[in-house]
Amino acid sequence: MQRLLRHMIAAVLAVGLAAVAAPVPAHANAQATQESGDRFKRVAYFIQWGVYGRNYHVKDMDTSGAAAKLTHVNYAFGFVNPEGDCYSADPWADWQRPVPAEQSVDGVADAEGQALSGNLNQLRKLKARHPGLKALISLGGWTGSKYFSDAVLTPAGRTRLASSCIDLWLKGNLPGAPAGAGAGVFDGIDLDWEWPGSSGNDGNVIRPEDKRNFTLFVTELRRQMNGFDRRSELTAFLPAAAAKIDAGFEVRDVFRQLTFATVQGYDLHGPWETVTGHNGNLFNDRRDPNPVRYSVDQTVRDYLTRGAPARKIVVGVPAYGQGWTGVTGGRNGLYGTATGPAPGTFAAGNEDYKILVNKPGKRYRDLLTGSVWLYDGNEFWSYDDPASLTQKAAYIRLKGLGGSMMWSIDQDDTKASLTTALYRVLR
């Protein structure tokens, strides 16, 4: 069955790209789909700090055509403080920064002293422009998960954190702003605790009790969200590795409380390792020399066997690549040895799709593993392009999964090529 699925998806890609590549209007068809309801979720993360060095704004999701092809925007990130409360890591970007007309979704600049400015006001405008598009506040992330374990350790702590997050992000009671100024911006909460019960960023608090406490917190948060608005959505970002799943998540119980969950389909390998590999391959590779073989399909199967319903599994896909330098050996650089991470625009070993697509070098594709890579004899980059995302989207349809999630929308190109590839299949 697994071999048949591989070949079916490879055939979809091999013979169907011409049809898939047919032009789709940036707004009209997608708008109708958003308003009438969507079979598949099409989620993308928008990063709060993108308005700075990346110069990527909420408006750019609209002008690229991406917003019309999404069902959800996850706003990254809100943090949890040592006292066990939700807080904004950057109020200036979130609701204080006056957005000039040229960066505004509707072309109207923020007025001095208005109740809500910044990214949150732009999200409100984006939602008004695209009825049916939902925005979720994502809590945690790699650098914002340090105190989750402390915050949910006791029943009182879980109650406090849930109440704090609802008050700040859903009720919109933003510090320094009029009461309720941010109400209605967010339609729910996305939990991105990386990771309960296992290591994430250096310094994160980790306990064996995290696994049970995560379930208890999700249950309490859902209870309080129901009291606020039963239509509010609760989602979570969950890890790829089976060891991390088992250390931190009571899968069946957690999924009962969630609207859906996005599962990690990237960072399966990267330049923290000395041997090159795939960032987000769809299927396992028989030639993979690693003792543990990761793939999107392996992760999906791991969640299914632990009791997750297929329709609630939303597959994460990357809009960036992982890169190594000094690469020798391997198969066209794949599984070759490297001297370190390749230079990147914002971080070593990491590069946006919009930059990689124009990077010189020879590209290689493996239809049976659903992977593409770039190798110039020195640098090796593993990333996804519209063709590989078409293959992943076909997999999502054939498996009856819930949809796709992209990290992160600013890394797509100005034509929203990756977003469009997913939309063409998952609508």
CA dist., res. 382 & res. 270, Å (int):
9
Tell me whether strands 403-407 and 313-318 are parallel, antiparallel or unpaired.
parallel
Annotation marks residue 102 as catalytic: no
Work out the angle at residue 280's Cα, subtended by the Cα atoms of residues 400 and 236, and round it to the nearest 5 degrees.
60
Structure tokens at 115: 């109740």
Written as one string, the DSSP assignment of 161-190 is HHHHHIIIIIS---TTS-TTTTTTS-SEEE
Per-state percent for the chain, helix, strand, coil, to nearest 5: 35, 20, 45
Buried b (16+ CB within 10 A) or exposed e, 136-150: bbbbbbeebbbbbbb
Written as one string, the DSSP assignment of 299-331 is HHHHHHHTT--GGGEEEEEESEEEEEES-BSTB
Residues comprising the chain, all counted = 427
From start to end of 91-212, where are the E strands? 134-141, 188-193
Work out the angle at residue 241's Cα, subtended by the Cα atoms of residues 239 and 242, and round it to the nearest 5 degrees.
110
CA dist., res. 177 & res. 91, Å (int):
10
CA dist., res. 158 & res. 156, Å (int):
6
Residue 223 and residue 275 in contact, taking contact as beta carbons nearer than 8 Å: no
Residue 214 and residue 207 in contact, taking contact as beta carbons nearer than 8 Å: no
Please list, in sequence order, all residues whose beta carbon lies within 8 angstroms of the beta carbon of residue 72, skipping any fewer than 6 positions away: 41, 42, 43, 44, 133, 134, 135, 136
**Active-site entry in 102, 112, 194, 250:** 194
Name the residues annotated as catalytic.
194
